[in-house]
Every structure is written in structure tokens, then in C-alpha cells.
Chain A
């Protein structure tokens, strides 16, 4: 498979803090790639450079064959973006929000089809600020798909969502990948990375310290003689929670 995102020796510093210190990695076409790391590891900075929102101090970032630092506008046309801690303009319905972003990309879309894709068709006429957290996250993905992106960037897409909404979003992401879009996501939830991502890169202090499919990383750890000090549980509290409250998405 070919690489659709190529990052070479990427660097970014804010004053004295070196947020990104020489990152290099490839994201392959059609995969779900996860960038993992604790808060402050430099995940968001890396993603924002790839999205064309920040200028790198050094190194190359190439998305779908376009050098992001040289042609940020063209790169923006090729990618879909869901930002961490961002919001939509107020006083718009869900459908109007999708139409608005289509305008921003200079394209026309069938907003209803997109809303159907993210399971929000019945909320089309509702003000977006009245949507629940999970619904807004799905609306956010709908707006990120208006330009039929080659790569979809999701920055901590499930932070703050309840277990049902998280699982629903994972399904949505898998469906998007199925339709041919490469997905690049950041998360600090390891369970999310484990079930969702084809490959993950673990970063800390602005550098990648490991990169492989989740299973391979786990096997490698076990091969190094690691064993959990606690007895392996057959179920987690989350399993209990989902068993008690069901898998259906809560819409409120």
C-alpha cells in the first residue's frame, strides 16, 4: 500500500518548549492510524501541522502528495478535519451547519445524505447547539466529510462521550474507512486504539517511541517477559456498565 501521509523529521517549538522533536512516520492509504500519547505529548500539534493550521519549524509534512507547509490551502481541500475543542457557529441547524461548511469548501453537497451517514437525519432541523455531545461529534464528522476528503483527521474524537456513544462513533469511523477514506486519529484511550486502529504510533515528549499494529506491540511487550501483576479479569467495569445499560445509543 502507498503512503498518503508522509512526515519526515518534523519539528515545532513554542518558546522554550520543543513540542515536536523530529517526528517521522507514514500513514498508509486506507488504514485507520492512531497517534497515541499522554496529554502534552505533542499529538495535537502534530495533527494541526498536518491540517495546515500551524507552521512547522522544520521537516516535511506531505498529505496526498501535497507539501502542507508550501500549499496549506490545497492541502486543506484534500483533508477532513475534526478539531479538539472546537465549536460550530451558533444559531444554525444541523443541516445548515453542513451546508455552511460545504460553502467553505466551495462545494455543493446533499446535506441529508451526509447526516444520514452519521445517523443524524432526524436531527437535521435542530439547532446544533442543542445536540448532545455524541450527536455534535457526529455532526462534526459530517462537516469533515463535505469535501470527500482523502484523509480524515480526528483529534480525540471520543473524549467526553459515554460508552455507548463511543462505540457508535467507532462504528461510524470503520464505515468511513470502508468507503475508502484514510483515518488519522489521536487518542489517549488505549482501548479505543486497540479495537479501532490498524496501526498506532506511540509518542511522548514530541517523539515517536513505538509504531506498529496494536497486536504486534502487545506481543512484543509480552515477548520481553512482561506480565500483568494482577489476575486477568474476565470482564471490566465497562462491560458491566454496557451490560446493564445496553449498547443502544442514548439520544438526549
Chain B
């Protein structure tokens, strides 16, 4: 424990703090930041009471950012991906129930095919509004406002989704890469041999390594959360401490993998290859930048069992849904199982008598 100051690796600290911050800033401020907001253009060709009522109902929904555009310009913008959707209200637009023989007015919705998530969210909102309005007219009951609130429940900004994912992935990167690199270099250059020639117990040395990394992870998590809160206005509903606790459990898990890798690799050149092999699939399939449901159906049962998936799910439920540690116990059990697996691997590969 008294070796806490052991690794004062300035470059490592740079990479473990600055790079994640950059990731967060880039993805947080990118266009993706407006995931939840669907940019919608409306061409109200009817401009009658019914159409104004409809547009007003849409404008009450935060998820939509609405512009009035003519169908022509809006279509051009759609093609340039500057818009997500266009709704054209025909001249005969009405919410009144159709009398027999009368054709129902057709609401045309143009969606941007390259932003399917936004488009489908927008479509469902419009459907919802249409249904409510028709229902309201038929029943002459003012249920609009109430139902619209329901629709607003969909609102989840991309940053809110992103922050827990970034936390998870950085804990993984920090733990796997920093340990694997530092220890393989130390092993190869004979640093470990030299330290083993002192009476220092290997267990003390290992604990000091782990503690150093956990302190770094704590600092990293806290800085990231501070940036998220103050810069992106993200409010982790479940509180900072549970997030930190889960992050540190994740760090321990990935540290065991880092140690196993450090023990296995002969040279530092093997580290990035294997480390990427371990981390990259999790990077994409564990729900960091986008939902893990984006993974192909076929491999989803496997991706749901990835260590980072457990970590991200737990972090996200705490952060976004305000879950408690007890609520995410299944994920925590998953993490513990992986930690046990990693521990066995680490003990198997990381042997002091081999240095």
C-alpha cells in the first residue's frame, strides 16, 4: 500500500484523463447530441382551424424542433440530411370525423431514411397526436394535453444516454491498457525482476498496482461526471456514489483482464493487438455510443453477456432511470462472475517466477 506513489506515469495520466474527456466532448457536442430532438418541417397548406390546432399540438412536444417550410425547400433539405422529417398538411385537412363517402385527408410524411431512429420517433409522435386529436374530436373530450404529456416521456437526450457509456468504456480502456502496457514493459525491461530481488512481497506489489489504478479510475470518473453535469447538464438520477462504486467494480474486473494480458504477452507489441481484440467488440456491441440493440440479432445473446454490457447497463440504469445498486444487482452479479473469470486468468498467466 505504501507504494501508492509507485506509478507516477505522466503520459499515462494524460491519456487516461484527457482522451476520455475528448471523447465525451466530441460525442457530446456532435450533432448526435440532439438525438432526442427530431427536426421536423411543416408545410401547412390548409392553414385552417384544424391544421393550426394540429401544429400547435405538435409544437408542445419538446422532442420535436419544428420549422415552417414549404414542401419544396424542406424536401431539398431532407436530401441534404439537414432535416429529419417533413409533414405536409393537405388543403382539405380536417380533424372532423369523415362522413360516409368523403375521403379522409391524407397527411404526407417524408422521413429521412438515413436517420431511421429520429424518423421513427417522429412518426410515432405524429401518429399519437393524430389519434389523440381525432379521438378528442369524436368524443368531444379535451384529453389532448394529458396524452401529449405521455408522448413526452420518450424524451431522452443523447448525452444522457452517452455519459454512462463513456464512463464504462473508459474504465475498461484505463484498466486493460494501462496495466497491460505498463507491466509488459516493466517485465520485458527487467523492472519486475529487479523489484522481485527485493524482499517486497509480490502481493503487496500487486495491490499497490491495483490501488494506483483504482485511484486513477476514481479521479477519471469524477472528472467525467463533473464535466457531464456542468457542461452538458446531465443529472445522474441515481446519484454519484453508486455510479462510482459500479465503475470501480468494473475497473477491478478489467484490471484482472489487464493482468492476465500482461502476464501472457511477451512483448509490448502484442499488447495492443490482443487488447483491441478484447475491447473493440465491447466498444461497439455493449451500448457505448448507441443502443446495444443495434448489434445483429444473431449475436445479441452473446453481446448481452459481455462484461462491458453489464457495466454499461448498470451505469445507465443508475444514471438515467435512477436505479439503486439493488435494482442493478443482476448486472453486478454479471460483473462479479466476470471478475472471478478474470482473476483466474490473471493468476494463471501472471506468474512472478517467470520474470
Cβ-based interface call for A85 (8 A)? yes
A55 proximity list for chain B (CB < 8 A): 353
Contacts A83-B193, A86-B191, A103-B3 given; indicate if A91 touches B10 (C-beta within 8 A): yes
The reply to whether A103 and B2 contact each other, CB–CB distance below 8 Å, is yes
The reply to whether B197 and A87 contact each other, CB–CB distance below 8 Å, is no
CB-based nearest B residue for A84: B190
The reply to whether B6 and A89 contact each other, CB–CB distance below 8 Å, is yes
The reply to whether B197 and A76 contact each other, CB–CB distance below 8 Å, is yes
Cβ-based interface call for A77 (8 A)? yes
The reply to whether A101 and B198 contact each other, CB–CB distance below 8 Å, is yes
- Min CB–CB distance A61 → chain B (angstroms): 15
Cβ-based interface call for A73 (8 A)? yes
Per-residue A-contact encoding for B180-208, CB less than 8 Å = 1, 0 else: 00000110011101111111110000000
The reply to whether A90 and B9 contact each other, CB–CB distance below 8 Å, is yes
Contacts A101-B198, A106-B199 given; indicate if A89 touches B7 (C-beta within 8 A): yes
Cβ-based interface call for B80 (8 A)? no
Per-residue B-contact encoding for A77-102, CB less than 8 Å = 1, 0 else: 10001010111111110000000110
Contacts A92-B8, A100-B6, A103-B2 given; indicate if A87 touches B191 (C-beta within 8 A): yes
A53 proximity list for chain B (CB < 8 A): 193, 196-197
Contacts A105-B199, A106-B199 given; indicate if A87 touches B3 (C-beta within 8 A): no
Q: How far is the CA of A101 from the CA of B6 in the complex (A)?
A: 11
A91 proximity list for chain B (CB < 8 A): 7-10
Give the interface SS of chain B, mostly helix, strand, loop or mixed.
loop
Cβ-based interface call for A104 (8 A)? yes
A92 proximity list for chain B (CB < 8 A): 8
B201 proximity list for chain A (CB < 8 A): 73
- Min CB–CB distance A139 → chain B (angstroms): 12
CB-based nearest B residue for A80: B197
Residue from A86, A87, A104 with most neighbouring chain B CB atoms (10 Å): A104
CB-based nearest A residue for B8: A91
B196 proximity list for chain A (CB < 8 A): 53
Give the interface SS of chain A, mostly helix, strand, loop or mixed.
loop
Chain B interface size range: 20 to 34
The reply to whether A89 and B199 contact each other, CB–CB distance below 8 Å, is no
A100 proximity list for chain B (CB < 8 A): 3, 6
B194 proximity list for chain A (CB < 8 A): 81, 83, 86-88
- Min CB–CB distance A4 → chain B (angstroms): 18
Per-residue B-contact encoding for A41-62, CB less than 8 Å = 1, 0 else: 0000000000111010000000
Chain A interface size range: 20 to 34
Per-residue A-contact encoding for B326-354, CB less than 8 Å = 1, 0 else: 00000000000000000000000000010
CB-based nearest B residue for A102: B198
Mark out the residues of chain A between 59 and 79 whose CB falls within 8 Å of any chain B CB in the assembled complex: 73-74, 76-77
Partner of B199, one of A86, A88, A104: A104
- Min CB–CB distance A78 → chain B (angstroms): 9
A52 proximity list for chain B (CB < 8 A): 197
CB-based nearest A residue for B197: A81
- Min CB–CB distance A239 → chain B (angstroms): 34
A105 proximity list for chain B (CB < 8 A): 198-200
Q: How far is the CA of A36 from the CA of B185 in the complex (A)?
A: 31
- Min CB–CB distance A136 → chain B (angstroms): 12
The reply to whether B195 and A104 contact each other, CB–CB distance below 8 Å, is yes
The reply to whether B199 and A76 contact each other, CB–CB distance below 8 Å, is yes
The reply to whether B191 and A88 contact each other, CB–CB distance below 8 Å, is yes
CB-based nearest B residue for A78: B199
The reply to whether B198 and A87 contact each other, CB–CB distance below 8 Å, is no
A83 proximity list for chain B (CB < 8 A): 190, 193-194, 197
Contacts A53-B193, A91-B8 given; indicate if A73 touches B199 (C-beta within 8 A): yes
Residue from A83, A86, A101, A105 with most neighbouring chain B CB atoms (10 Å): A86
CB-based nearest B residue for A77: B199
24 A-B pairs, CB-CB below 8 angstroms? A51-B197, A53-B193, A73-B199, A73-B201, A74-B199, A76-B198, A76-B199, A77-B199, A83-B193, A83-B194, A85-B190, A87-B190, A87-B191, A87-B194, A89-B7, A89-B186, A90-B185, A91-B7, A91-B10, A92-B8, A100-B3, A101-B198, A103-B3, A104-B198
Contact surface of A with B, Cβ cutoff 8 Å: 51-53, 55, 73-74, 76-77, 81, 83, 85-92, 100-101, 103-106
With A81-B198, A87-B189 already in contact, 18 other A-B pairs whose C-beta atoms are closer than 8 Å: A51-B197, A53-B193, A53-B197, A76-B197, A77-B199, A81-B194, A85-B190, A86-B189, A86-B193, A86-B194, A87-B190, A87-B191, A87-B194, A89-B7, A89-B186, A104-B3, A105-B200, A106-B199
